[in-house]
Chains A and B, each alone.
Chain A
Amino acid sequence: GAVVSQHPSWVICKSGTSVKIECRSLDFQATTMFWYRQFPKQSLMLMATSNEGSKATYEQGVEKDKFLINHASLTLSTLTVTSAHPEDSSFYICSARDLLGGYNEQFFGPGTRLTVL
């Protein structure tokens, strides 16, 4: 149980295009989902926290107009990288908090590798 999926697992796009990444909790309801970004050989940096049905909360330095987050249901959150540029190339990982598992249960997706040419 407690599986989080991401789609796509990798994407290559041209500079200036927008890319949408989906994060789904497959067998549990996630009231809160988190988006992290990881550059090569670096740690995970929290980008934003999204609560179902409300606006996402972004970390300092993360542009909310560039990284659009939608959490429309208890099992799906999406991250859209708008007008992507090469510097947005990174590994994006989502995580979901299990409503029934307690406040400290957080499960991670397998990640999406974005390459912007």
Chain B
Amino acid sequence: SQQGEEDPQALSIQEGENATMNCSYKTSINNLQWYRQNSGRGLVHLILIRSNEREKHSGRLRVTLDTSKKSSSLLITASRAADTASYFCATRGGATNKLIFGTGTLLAVQP
């Protein structure tokens, strides 16, 4: 399977703490994207980082990419209860240029 893996599978933190999720993938990529999905709902695009970028910021989000290790991390700072959701990384690349999703991290932020 080309699907990437994320860890941890589940993460529970207190409001105000930082949350870090990691994503590993298997093939070469053009870009890596992070999405959020609230329970039973559609996807919300959070951030895209290109293969030639190492770090990107958007509000409380910080994404890093290490193509040599085929890994990425998503950091959410000063978490809020509303950040409770599943977070997925998705990679685009390879011969088909398809968007392939990782296994996801379920984040629970306790108020």
Contact segment of A11-19, A41-49, A69-77: A41-49
B46 at interface, CB cutoff 8 A = no
A64 CB, min distance to chain B CBs, angstroms: 17
B101 CB, min distance to chain A CBs, angstroms: 4
Contacting residues, chain A, for B92 (C-beta < 8 A): 104
Interface positions of A from 98 to 117, Cβ below 8 Å from B: 103-104, 106-111, 113
Q: Are A43 and B101 in contact (CB under 8 A)?
A: yes
Contacting residues, chain A, for B88 (C-beta < 8 A): 43-44
Q: Are A110 and B41 in contact (CB under 8 A)?
A: yes
Q: Are B97 and A103 in contact (CB under 8 A)?
A: yes
Q: Are B102 and A111 in contact (CB under 8 A)?
A: no
A67 at interface, CB cutoff 8 A = no
A79 at interface, CB cutoff 8 A = no
Contacting residues, chain B, for A110 (C-beta < 8 A): 41-42
Binary flags per residue of B40-67, CB closer than 8 Å to A gives 1, else 0: 1111010010000000000000000000
Cα of A91 to Cα of B43 in the assembled complex, Å = 12
A81 at interface, CB cutoff 8 A = no
Q: Are B31 and A91 in contact (CB under 8 A)?
A: no
Contacting residues, chain A, for B98 (C-beta < 8 A): 34, 46, 49
A93 at interface, CB cutoff 8 A = yes
Pick the residue among A103, A108, A113 that contacts B43 (CB under 8 A). A108
Cα of A45 to Cα of B2 in the assembled complex, Å = 10
Pick the residue among A36, A45, A104, A108 that contacts B48 (CB under 8 A). A104
Q: Are A109 and B99 in contact (CB under 8 A)?
A: no
Q: Taking CB as reference atom, which chain B residue is nearest A49?
A: B98
A57 CB, min distance to chain B CBs, angstroms: 9
Q: Are A43 and B48 in contact (CB under 8 A)?
A: no
Contacting residues, chain B, for A42 (C-beta < 8 A): 103-104
- Given A104-B30, A104-B92: A43 in contact with B42 (beta carbons within 8 A): no
Q: Taking CB as reference atom, which chain A residue is nearest B96?
A: A49
- Given A44-B101, A49-B98: A93 in contact with B3 (beta carbons within 8 A): no
